[in-house]
Amino acid sequence: MTWFTKWALRNRPALVFSVIASIIFGIFSYTTIPMELMPSADQPYITISAVGNGMDAVSMDEQVTQPIEKVLTGIKGKRNVVAETGNNFSQMTVTFESGTNLKEAKQQIQDSISMVNLPNGVMKPYVVLLNTSQIPVVYLGLSFDKEIGNIELNLVDNEILPQFKDIKGVGNVMTYGGKISRFQSKWTRQNLPLHNIL
């Protein structure tokens, strides 16, 4: 017999107490240690999303996706870039080597994109470092029978979004697209008669 077996046979009350204490400690730990279905962890990729109202897929690819891809070539730790472009949108997923400091990589990407001259009507690209606690639960698309104008955008911002934000358990609601278009025109008195404006 080993020394532990001999000790256990001679000290039965102490052994029983140790077993009971271990069970109680295990139950206490199980009930108090927080457990999550998806623990918070950074994923080794960063997404870049850009929205360009009224731009077809070819224009988005040539004027938005390709220029952004070019400035991403010098990002440290980058493994590859996968781009998806369609009418009015462009999305790129940048995958990184393990061990890369993703917060620094995100800052590098934002700095690089800020140097890209994007066409008018393209919103500032969103650069998102996904954490498992930030993965969207629901994606919703909203369309109207007519073209989207100021009335529809105000309806979304002032009536629809607040209802989603008021739902219990909702952390955040983000919208993409729907930029209000504006233009400015300057006239001189000499040019007004040329356009039949008196």
Asked whether residue 198 is assigned to any structural domain, the reply reads no
Q: In terms of domains, do 12 and 92 share one? A: no
Cβ–Cβ under 8 Å, residues 132 and 38:
yes
Question: pTM to 2 decimals?
Answer: 0.53
Instruction: Give the distance, in angstroms, between the CA of residue 55 and the centroid of all CA atoms in the same chain.
Output: 23
Q: What is the pLDDT of residues 137-152, one digit of tens each?
A: 777 777 777 766 778 7
DSSP, res 52: B
Q: What is the pLDDT of residues 102-147, one digit of tens each?
A: 889 999 999 999 999 998 888 889 898 876 555 667 777 777 777 6
Alpha-carbon distances of 177 from 91, 115, 143, 192, rounded to whole Å: 13, 22, 11, 36
Q: In terms of domains, do 151 and 130 share one? A: no
Q: Give residue 14's domain range.
A: 3-32
Asked which of 20-34, 92-106, 179-193 is least confident by mean pLDDT, the reply is 179-193
Q: In terms of domains, do 84 and 17 share one? A: no
What whole-number distance in Å separates Cα of residue 92 and Cα of residue 95? 10
Cβ–Cβ under 8 Å, residues 93 and 47:
yes
Q: In terms of domains, do 113 and 55 share one? A: yes
Q: In terms of domains, do 129 and 169 share one? A: no
Asked whether residue 15 is assigned to any structural domain, the reply reads yes
Asked whether residue 190 is assigned to any structural domain, the reply reads no
DSSP, res 195: G
User: In total, how many domains does the chain have?
Assistant: 3
